[in-house]
Structure 1
Amino acid sequence: MPPAFKALLAQLLACVVAYVAGRSGMLPPGLWPLVLSQALAAVMIATILRSARWWLPIHLAFMPTTVAALQLEISPGWYLGAFILLALVYWSSFRTQVPLYLSNRKTAEQLSTLLPTDRPATVLDIGSGTGSLLRMLARLRPDCHYTGIEAAPAPWALGWLLGRRVRSLEWHLGDFFTSPWQAYDVVYAFLSPVPMTQVWTKAQSEMKPGSLLVSNSFAIPGREPDEIVQVDDGRRTRLLIYRIGAPGHTAQARN
């Protein structure tokens, strides 16, 4: 069942539960006992439907926030503006289940050590957000060529604005699954668990032997990474390194 449909189903069924509980006299009189019972029921139903954990606080807050906003009588234009802004930032996240993640400076420094030292390398960042990682890499290794692909218009526009003077950076708006990966020595991904099987399938079919697929935090199901690099940052980032053409084996970790 698609996650968005699970969310809708949980909310609708929770409304039915709250209505039945209210009509049967199980709840105290008033609006807010009804609202809170709906929120709790939505969380329970989402748990039964095995929704991702991050959906649960959304279900818990959705109806109380909606009712509170209605009571404040906020102009509809603010809601429209917020919707447009969120759509521009997250775009197709509801479909791809890939949120906006930004890589930090220490991750860029570790990634730069994986690039070939004897020649300029070509690097592709899939789902590149605002391009922060590529701009940091361009300062660390200005001899290399960097390409970023981002699907959401707002992060892409900010990335274009911030990176327009970086000569080694090529910046694209679109779907990285429809772009060829053959020309790259390193493909970097900071996505989510959901698309990693598809990412690995594309990498195996298109990337040249010996090139690297580097995934920030999210493993490829059913395959051990060839190496794990531990980044010394606050969130304990792990870079999972998959060498194209290498047989799967027990991963070696290094700092």
Structure 2
Amino acid sequence: MPPALKALLAQLAGCVIAATLVRSAPLGAGIWPLVAVQAISAAAIGTVLRSARWWLPIHLGFVPLLVLAGRLDVAPGWYLAAFGLLLAVYWTSFRTQVPLYPTNRATVAAVAGLLPPGRRSRLLDLGSGTGSLLRPLARLRPDCSFRGIEAAPGPWLMSRLWTRNPPNVRFERGDFFSSSWSGCDIIYAFLSPVPMADVWAKARRELHDGLLISNSFPVPGEPPERIVEVPDARATVLYVYRFALAAPPAE
């Protein structure tokens, strides 16, 4: 079941449980006992549905924050503006389960160290965000070419505005699974555990010998060729895999 559908079902079930209890048993004066029952019930249903752990605080806080927001003297247009901003930044994260993860400077240096010296490498950044990886890499390695694909319009626009048109980097807006990866020999991914198996399969289908560099999230069931520990505050780990074009099935 998609995570967003699980969340919707949990919230609706919490509302049903709270409405049932308020009719059959006294919950105390005011709206907050009812809100508490709904929040706790939604969190419990989400746990039963095996939602990721980070959904728990969302379920606990969703309806209470709605009630508080409704009691604030804020013009509706501000809520619409906040929703539009979040939509522009996170776009389809609820479906892809890939949030916005900027790449820090220490990781940029580590990735630069993985690029073969003296060879024109072609690196593709899956979900390039604001260009936090490709913009400094393009300056460090002007002999290489870099391409980023980002679905969310906000980060993609920022990457275009902040990049002063170097000839060796370009940013595209779209779904990186729907785009062709041909012509690249290094794939960089800072995504989440969810899409890594599909990323590995697509790289092996479309590309010849090259590298997949995954920031923080290993490919399930595949031993990395190399693990690079980045000396930063979050103890970043880069999993480096070598891929080759998958052989066609035997007839």
1:79 aligns with 79
Show the counterpart of 1:250.
Answer: none
Residue 91 of structure 1 aligns with which residue? 91
Q: How does 1:16-35 map to 2 (within 5 A)?
A: 16-35=16-35
Residue 122 of structure 1 is matched in structure 2 by: 122
**In 2: Cα distance, 1:16 partner to 1:175 partner:** 37
Distance 1:246 1:207, change over 3 A: closer
In structure 2, the residue corresponding to 1:113 is in which secondary structure?
A: helix
Length-normalised TM-score, structure 1: 0.93
1:26 to partner: Cα distance: 4.8
Q: Supply the AA of the counterpart residue of 2:133.
A: L
Once superposed, what is the RMSD of the aligned Cα atoms?
A: 1.5
Which residue is 2:249 aligned to? Answer: none
- Call closer, same or farther: CA 1:28–1:244 in 2, change over 3 Å: same
State the partner residue of 1:232: 231
Tell me the secondary structure at the aligned position of residue 156 of structure 2.
helix
Distance 2:192 2:164 in 1: 28
User: After superposition, what is the alpha-carbon deviation per residue over 1:23-49, rounded to whole angstroms, capped at 9, x for unaligned?
Assistant: 222522211111111111111110111
1:88-141 superposed Cα distances (whole Å, 9 cap, x missing partner): 111111111111110000001000111111212111101000001111112221
Please tell me whether residue 153 in structure 1 is matched to residue 125 in structure 2.
Answer: no
Distance 1:18 1:74 in 2: 27
Q: Give the aligned partner of residue 179 of structure 1.
A: 179
Counterpart of 1:252 in structure 2 is: none
In the TM superposition, residue 21 of structure 1 has moved relative to its aligned partner by: 2.3
Aligned-pair CA distance for 1:165: 2.7
- The 5 Å alignment of 1:233-248 reads 233-245=232-244
The residue number in structure 2 matching 1:164 is: 164
Structure 2: which 5+ runs fail to align? 247-251
Structure 1: gaps spanning 5 or more residues: 248-255
SS at match of 1:128: coil
Which amino acid letter does the alignment assign opposite residue 231 of structure 2?
D
Whether 1:212 and 2:188 are equivalent positions in the alignment is no
| Residues in 2 aligned to 1:139 and 1:118: alpha-carbon distance in whole angstroms | 15
Report the CA distance between 1:74 and its aligned residue: 2.3
Normalised TM-score (structure 2): 0.94
Runs of 4+ in 1 over 6 A off after TM superposition: none
Give percent identity, aligned residues only.
57
| Residue matched to 1:253 | none
In structure 1, distance between residues paired with 2:199 and 2:177: 8
SS at match of 2:187: strand
Alpha-carbon distance, 1:245 to partner:
3.1
Partner-residue secondary structure (3-state), 1:29: coil
Which moves more between the two structures, 73-82 or 200-209? 73-82
Q: Give the aligned residue type for 1:49.
A: L
